[in-house]
Every structure is written in structure tokens, then in C-alpha cells.
């Protein structure tokens, strides 16, 4: 009996009808079907939709038996064919394609590889392209740690062309030249101006210069990347101290927006508890990432993590761990082990092993996440408090009350000190966790105090008749009896 499979190569799909379920038969059909499109290239890799390698009869048969009928094939230019090409005669389009891999390295993942960062920069790239199309001028900035930019403009200061073009003045003045939008810990600023002057400032994030003149005075630091369009003018000091990257519409807009749209769909289906659909869009994210950047790029590690999350939600923890391992290997090699993304992967490992009841393994991963989070440049307190919170919950599962309480109190302390909103759901959740553990330990009076704080927060944020608010109120009543 033949097997009907679908193979994706680049942006095209092919239908295969295998008379024999062997790897060699699959390989021959892929090469035959794609020989016109991939002339001068060689087949280098075949994977299933989850990105798992297919290289033997056994791996192909296991995939098909488990319901995997969609595969991806990857080609690379043959080195012998490339040696005969006259690169000086390439078109502008070909040259742009050759720059994709170089441009991909410019995306700043080491410091900020998280969902909010990707979302903010995808939105920024849309604005940049719109401004280019409309012949507008200005800066788009995506950054965190922006509180030090805030100052009151001196109403008595003499307005000169210099301070009217000052970045700080433009950011702080409420006018139609500046728009601000928040993405969790990141802020996106849109400033429309022909000339913008940066003076004695640190921008912890990305800067996009669109057809404007940008000048730097004093110590100006951009921690991630400066993207410039072709008609932008960057002064000599900036060129000497800040490496700029030429805006590439295909990679910095088209691919970035496509990947983010796929991630939006994944999140949408996750919220609807449609796990299989969320996995499908994560697999599409992987296919686009690998076909654009190759197999070892941070975006590929992100894709594997997204797919892993889908299997975690389906409670297929073994598959989730398999995909997390792929993500960790790629992410560690591409970014190094001491970065926020690798810390997050260790945190995800901890969650997965916790769900399997393997508490000691989970504790090791949470501790590794905390070790990285405490030593990377820039302290992300939400990440650290989350790790302490989940570590405390694992100790609770082990009935190690004292360690559980210590970790949960550490999480609560961090959230109280560093959460912008002093009445937040995260603080309420942490109080609930502490109340639960203290009640288990028999310290009812202290447990009641934490439950009362949680009830006060939930009552404000969720409302008096919300189920969580009512549940906490019932626990307070039970402790008072």
C-alpha cells in the first residue's frame, strides 16, 4: 500500500505517493520533483513538521505511524556550481538574498530574546517600512530601562534649534511628533523629525533611523542595534562608536513580520486551548526560520521552544522535553549559556519535569535558571521572581515546607519591590502560594494574613465576585473557624 505525504521545500509544497516507505524512496522523489526549482543545489536535510531529523527508514516509518504526514526538505547550493558563478554580475535582488544570513546575525537576541521584545520590534519594523513608503523622517526606538529619560522640560529655557531637536526634549514633550507604546517591559517610541540629537544617554534596545540626520554628543550608548535606511545621515562620532546596520526590507520587515504573525496565531490558538492548531503554526514558524536562516539561528531555537510549549499544553511531556533539548542546544551555541533565553529554557525544563513529578530534576533546572538570571547583564526581576516562585512550589510538592516558604517569600519580596503596579495579580498569586504552604505547615495565623493580602488585591483587580476572589475569601473564613 502506498503512502501519501506532503513535502515543503522553501515556499512550495509537493504531494508524494511513496510505493515503499523507505528513506531512499522519499529522498529520490523529493530530488526528482524539485529538480527544476533546485537546479545546482543538493538535498542536505529532511525533517518532520516538528523539525526532527528524518534520515533512516526507521525514523520515517515511526513518523508516519505516529501520524506525521508533512515533511520539510532543505537544499543548499552545490559548492562546485557556485565556483563557476560570476558574483560581480549578480542582480540587486540576488545580492539582497546573499545578505540575508549576514543580516540575520544583526538581530539582537542575546540580551532580549523574549516574546515582548519580538513583538515590539515587529511592530517597530512595520512603522519603519510605512515611514519609508511615505518618505517620512525620524527615529523608532524599542528599549527598556527608560525611566532615566523622563524629566520636566524647563518652560523658561530659550528654545534653540539644538534643544528643539534634542531626543530628551522630543521624548518628554507632549506633541504630535512623538508617540509611545508599551510592550510589557519595553517601550516603543516614534519620533518624527529631520534632525534628532542624542546627548549623554543610554538606549537599552534597538534604534531605527529613517531618512533623518542623527547626531551624538557626549557618551551615547545603544546596547543592541542601530538600523539605518539608505538616506539616513549619521554623524562621524556615531559611526566611530556605534555599528550601524543597513535596513533590509526583506529580512528586517518581511520575514520579521511573517514570523511574528505566525507567533500571534500560535498564542491565539493557545488561549483558545486549541493545542493542535497552536502546534501547526509553531511548525510553520520553524519552517520559515530554517528556510531563511539555516538550522543554527536563534529564531530556530525560538521555533522549537514554541512547538515544545504546544506539546506541554497537550501533556505530552516527553515530546516537549525532546524539543526543548533541541532549542537549548541551538540557543546555547548561538547565544552562549549566560543569556536570558537560555535561562528561560531552563525554567521551561523545570516546569515540564515538575508536571511529570520529577521534582529533584526540576529543582536543578530552576536553580540553573536562577544562576543565569542573577549573573546576566541587566537584572530582569520578573524572571527571577518567577523562578523563585516555581522553585517554592516544587519544594511544596516535596513537603519541604521551610525551603518552599523561603523561596516564595523571596519571590514576593522581589515582586513587591520591583513591580511597577503595586497592586498586581503576580503579587496576589504569590501571597496565595505562601498562604497555602503556611496552612499546610500548620501556621494558620500567618497563612490568613497572606490570604487577606491576596483577597485585597484580587478584589481590586478582578472584582468582588470573581471566582478567584471568592475562593480566597473562603480560605480566610475556613482559617478563622
3-class secondary structure, 353: helix
| Cα separation, 462 vs 474, whole angstroms | 16
**Cα–Cα–Cα angle for 248, 252, 257, rounded to 5 degrees:** 140
Long-range (24+ apart) CB contacts under 8 A made by 403-409 are 404/437, 405/434, 405/437, 405/438, 405/441, 408/433, 408/434, 408/437, 409/434
- DSSP E strands in 184-322: the ranges are 186-192, 195-210, 213-222, 226-228, 233-234, 244-246
- Give Cα separations from 181 to 35, 89, 197, 262 (angstroms): 48, 44, 21, 22
- Verify that 63 and 147 share a domain, yes or no: no
The reply to whether 125 and 238 lie within a common domain is yes
* Domain C-terminal end among 214, 247, 280: 247
Q: How far apart are CA 238 and CA 48, in angstroms?
A: 46
Q: What is residue 217's DSSP assignment?
A: E
Lookup result for grid cell 539582537: 108
Is residue 323 assigned to a domain? yes
Instruction: Mark whether 264 and 240 lie in a shared domain.
Output: no
Number of domains in the chain: 3
For residues 145 and 9, membership in a common domain is answered with: no
What CATH number is attached to the domain comprising 328? 1.25.40.10
Q: Which of 195, 219, 247 is the last residue of a domain?
A: 247
Task: Give a yes or no: residue 282 inside a domain.
Answer: yes
Flag whether 102 is in a domain: no
Q: How far is CA 222 from CA 200, 234, 241, 283, 465, in A?
A: 11, 14, 9, 34, 47
Both 39 and 159 in a single domain? no
* Residue 100: inside a domain: no
Residues 285, 266 contacting (CB under 8 angstroms) = yes
Answer for the pair 282, 259: CB distance below 8 angstroms, yes or no.
Answer: no
Nearest-angstrom CA–CA distance, 192 and 199? 18
Query: Helix (H, G, I), strand (E, B), or coil: what is residue 45?
Result: strand
From first to last of its 481 residues, what are the pLDDT tens digits of the chain? 677 888 888 767 888 888 888 888 888 888 887 777 665 577 878 888 888 888 888 888 888 888 888 888 887 655 443 334 343 344 444 444 444 444 444 456 777 778 999 999 999 999 999 999 999 999 999 998 887 786 544 555 545 555 667 888 888 776 656 788 999 889 999 999 999 999 889 999 999 999 999 998 888 989 888 999 999 998 877 777 787 889 999 999 999 999 999 999 999 999 999 999 999 999 999 999 999 998 999 999 999 999 999 999 999 999 999 999 999 999 999 899 999 999 999 999 999 999 999 999 999 999 999 999 998 876 788 899 999 999 999 999 999 999 999 999 999 999 999 877 778 899 999 999 999 999 999 999 999 999 999 999 999 999 999 999 999 999 999 998 8
- The domain that holds 8 is classified in CATH as 3.10.20.90
Q: ∠ CA 316-296-363 to the nearest 5 degrees?
A: 45
- Please choose, from the candidates 196, 246, 249, 248, the residue with its C-alpha nearest in 3D space to the C-alpha of residue 226: 246
Q: Are 217 and 166 in contact (CB under 8 A)?
A: no
Name the residue with cell 499544553. Answer: 313
Whether residue 201 is contained in a domain is answered as yes
Residue 294 shares a structural domain with residue 403: yes
Question: pTM of the full predicted structure?
Answer: 0.82
Burial 102-136 (b: 16+ CB within 10 A, else e): ebbebbbbbbbbbeebbbbbbbbbebbbebbeeee
Is residue 296 within 8 Å of 326, Cβ to Cβ?
Answer: no
The backbone torsions φ and ψ at residue 141, rounded to the nearest 5 degrees and listed phi first, read -125, 135
As to burial, measured by CB atoms within 10 angstroms (0-12 exposed, 13-18 middle, 19+ buried), residue 414 is buried
Q: Are residues 120 and 70 in the same domain?
A: no
Residues 72 and 168 in one domain: no
Render 166-212 in DSSP notation, one character per residue: BHHHHHHS-STTEEEEEETTEEEEEEE-SEEEEEEEEEEEEEEEESS
Nearest CA-CA partner of 265 in 256, 284, 274, 278: 278
Count CB atoms within 10 A of the CB of residue 320: 25
The reply to whether 377 falls in a domain is: yes
Domain assignment of residue 200, given as a range:
115-247
Cell of residue 448, nine digits: 490568613
Asked if residue 276 and residue 203 are part of one domain, the reply reads: no
Of 247, 281, 307, the last residue of a domain is 247
242 and 264 housed in the same domain:
no
User: Do residue 192 and residue 131 come from a single domain?
Assistant: yes
- Cα distances from 255 to residues 248, 259, 403, 456, in angstroms, run 10, 6, 46, 45
Within a domain: 95: no
Name the strand (E) or helix (H) holding 70: strand 70-77
Helix residue ranges per DSSP H, 442-466: 444-461
In a domain, 99, yes or no: no
Can you spell out the DSSP letters for 319-350?
Answer: HHHHHHHHHHHHHHHHH-SSSHHHHHHHHHHH
Cβ-in-10-Å burial (0-12, 13-18, 19+) of 469 comes to: buried
For residues 414 and 276, state if they share a domain.
yes
Burial 289-309 (b: 16+ CB within 10 A, else e): bbbbbeeebbbbbbbbbbbbb
Amino acid at each position: 500500500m502506498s503512502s501519501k505525504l506532503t513535502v515543503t521545500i522553501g515556499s512550495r509544497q509537493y504531494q508524494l505517493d511513496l510505493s515503499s516507505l523507505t528513506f531512499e524512496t522519499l529522498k529520490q522523489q523529493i530530488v526528482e520533483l524539485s529538480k527544476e526549482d533546485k537546479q545546482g543545489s543538493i538535498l542536505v536535510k529532511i525533517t518532520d513538521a516538528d523539525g526532527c531529523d528524518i534520515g533512516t527508514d526507521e525514523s520515517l516509518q515511526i513518523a508516519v505511524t505516529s501520524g506525521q504526514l508533512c515533511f520539510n526538505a532543505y537544499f543548499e547550493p552545490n559548492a562546485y556550481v557556485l565556483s563557476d558563478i560570476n558574483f560581480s554580475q549578480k542582480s540587486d535582488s540576488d545580492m539582497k538574498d546573499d545578505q540575508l544570513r549576514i543580516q540575520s546575525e544583526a538581530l539582537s537576541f542575546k540580551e532580549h530574546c523574549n516574546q515582548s521584545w519580538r513583538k515590539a520590534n515587529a511592530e517597530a519594523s512595520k512603522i519603519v517600512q510605512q515611514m519609508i513608503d511615505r518618505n517620512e523622517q525620524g527615529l523608532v526606538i524599542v528599549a527598556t530601562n527608560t525611566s532615566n529619560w523622563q524629566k520636566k522640560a524647563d518652560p523658561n529655557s530659550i528654545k534653540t534649534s539644538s534643544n528643539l531637536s534634542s531626543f530628551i526634549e522630543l521624548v518628554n514633550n507632549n506633541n504630535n511628533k512623538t508617540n509611545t507604546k508599551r510592550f510589557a517591559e519595553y517601550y516603543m517610541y516614534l519620533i518624527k523629525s529631520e534632525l534628532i540629537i542624542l546627548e549623554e544617554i543610554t538606549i537599552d534596545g534597538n534604534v531605527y533611523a529613517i531618512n533623518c540626520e542623527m547626531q551624538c554628543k557626549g557618551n551615547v550608548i545603544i546596547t543592541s542595534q542601530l538600523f539605518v535606511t539608505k538616506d539616513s545621515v549619521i554623524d562621524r562620532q556615531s559611526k566611530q562608536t556605534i555599528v550601524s546596520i543597513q535596513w533590509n526590507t526583506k529580512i528586517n520587515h518581511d520575514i520579521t513580520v511573517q514570523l511574528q504573525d505566525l507567533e500571534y496565531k500560535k498564542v491565539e490558538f493557545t488561549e483558545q486551548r486549541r493545542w493542535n492548531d497552536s502546534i501547526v503554526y509553531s511548525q510553520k514558524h520553524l519552517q520559515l526560520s530554517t528556510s531563511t536562516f539555516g538550522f543554527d539561528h536563534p529564531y530556530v531555537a525560538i521555533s522549537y521552544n514554541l512547538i515544545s510549549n504546544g506539546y506541554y499544553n497537550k501533556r505530552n511531556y516527553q515530546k516537549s522535553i525532546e524539543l526543548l533539548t533541541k532549542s537549548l542546544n541551538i540557543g546555547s551555541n548561538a547565544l552562549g549559556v549566560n543569556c536570558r533565553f537560555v535561562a528561560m529554557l531552563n525554567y521551561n525544563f523545570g516546569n515540564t519535569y515538575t508536571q511529570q513529578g520529577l521534582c529533584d530534576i526540576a529543582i536543578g533546572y530552576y536553580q540553573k535558571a536562577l544562576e543565569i538570571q542573577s549573573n546576566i547583564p541587566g537584572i530582569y526581576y520578573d524572571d527571577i521572581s518567577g523562578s523563585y516562585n516555581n522553585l517554592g512550589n516544587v519544594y511544596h510538592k516535596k513537603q519541604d515546607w521551610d525551603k518552599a516558604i523561603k523561596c516564595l517569600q523571596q519571590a514576593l519580596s522581589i515582586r513587591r519591590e520591583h513591580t511597577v503596579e503595586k497592586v498586581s495579580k503576580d503579587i496576589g498569586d504569590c501571597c496565595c502560594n505562601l498562604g497555602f504552604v503556611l496552612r499546610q505547615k500548620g501556621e494558620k495565623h500567618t497563612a490568613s494574613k497572606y490570604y487577606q493580602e491576596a483577597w485585597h488585591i484580587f478584589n481590586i483587580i478582578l472584582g468582588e465576585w470573581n471566582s478567584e476572589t471568592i475562593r480566597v475569601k473562603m480560605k480566610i473564613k475556613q482559617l478563622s473557624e
